[in-house]
Amino acid sequence: MAGHTVPIDFRVDPAKIANPVERKTLLQDFLPLVEPFTGPLTEISSHELPGGCHMVLYSSDDMTLSVKLYSNGLVTAAVEYYTNAVNTHKIVNDDGRKLERELKKELGCTLAKVLPAIKRAPIINPYFTTSDDRLIEYDVVEKLFEEQTDYQKVEIYHTKSYGNMLVLDDLQNLAESDLPYTEGLMDKGKEKYTGKEVLILGGGDGALLWELLKDKPKFVTMIDIDDTVMKQCRRHLRSVCGDCLDKYDGDNYKVIVGDAIAHMREYLKEGRKFDYVFGDLTDIPISTEPKGELWDFMRTIINLGTKVTRPGTGKYMTHAIGIQCTEALKMFEKQLDQLDVPVTYTTTSHYVPSFKEKWCFYQVAVQKA
């Protein structure tokens, strides 16, 4: 059950909107193109808005059509209706393409676009965003799990295209399709983990731990604060975490449920160092300046993470954000240049299927002071 909104947008000569007679003719010519989908439409209200814009509302038996005409020639319209069949559209893609052609032919439009129906407040949310806030609609079948823990909102969805998908605080975290993410974080094929001591900060989905163990490291310590994530991933994302979350103490690994920052401070007191430290926690924030709670948290993690990395040979490995977020990446690199320990870094990028974008990964080599 959900509302559907079908956007219908086009551009005409501004004179057709400025002139009352031409504006009325434009609307009279527009309605017959839409009525095959809506049924006969009756005008409910009409208003002149500031800036020379006009708003007209129409209604049929079970649909509405709102039309806003801007003084610059832009016309934005929306067909809206309620349906119990959330994934059944009353205006399908082929209809939309045909309507675009008719708008150009009948109204002399310079541009016309009809988008698929936007689902309004369905019981199961299918919408998430890319790292730069572009909307993605997923082919969600069902929600397998949801809980607000002490730390975050944890959800797991089943999708047709990407398998089960972990979502944390309304952001895609990892899906069963996303081995490229884990291999990108590891810089798979270039870095050698055999016989190494590794620390994972976060990584509650278990994917990174599972892939690292295949390379026979000396020992891997993983610290994640939210046990709910790990319990549900070993149940619903078993294809990515294998059986490494079935027990938290293995022959060459240990999973700690706790605060990574507190544990790293203890490691510093002990003088403990790791060959590889993975930052698999928060993404780089999108902001105009590197300020705020998320940036402060990220700086703390990286500063501590690089300090517990073995200088001269060790690396701090982390994901960043989508490669299109160039300003955020520049701000992140400025933070790397200001760390308490000297570092150099390289970057790689990999397409992550469920994110529907290329992500940037950093390999930060910790230098001797």
Which positions are catalytic?
A: 280
Contacts with 262 (C-beta within 8 Å, 6 or more apart), sequence order? none
Within a 10 A sphere around the Cβ of 12, how many other Cβ atoms? 22
Helices (H), the chain: 15-18, 20-38, 93-107, 179-186, 207-213, 227-236, 238-241, 260-270, 293-307, 326-337
Residue 5, strand partner residues? 80, 118
Q: How far apart are CA 181 and CA 353, in angstroms?
A: 9
Residue 261: burial class (beta carbons within 10 Å; 0-12, 13-18, 19+): middle
Transcribe 149-179 into DSSP letters: -SS-EEEEEEETTTEEEEEETTEEEEETT-H
